[in-house]
Amino acid sequence: MKKLFLIPTALVILLTATFVIGQNTRFSDPKTVIKEWRRFKVMRTPI
């Protein structure tokens, strides 16, 4: 029973860590941050 609980938990932790590392890598480059923020603002602008 413990094995069935540990496998999904480990997968969730692994995916979360991968996502966080990816975000930190993307936002460490200032040019990328400005480009991403502009795209985000454009997407949020109501039509």
Residue 8 has pLDDT above 60, yes or no: yes
The single-letter code of the amino acid at 17 is A
Q: Provide the percentage of residues in the chain whose pLDDT is more than 90.
A: 4
Element (H, E) at 46: none
- Which one has a higher pLDDT value, 8 or 28? 8
Residue 34 has pLDDT above 60, yes or no: no
The CA–CA distances, whole Å, from 37 to 3, 7, 31 equal 42, 36, 10
pLDDT at 18: 85
| Residue 3, token pair as written in the block | 């094995």
Q: In this structure, is the dihedral angle defined by the CA atoms of residues 26, 28, 29 and 33, taken in order, positive or negative?
A: positive
Q: What is the pTM of this model?
A: 0.45
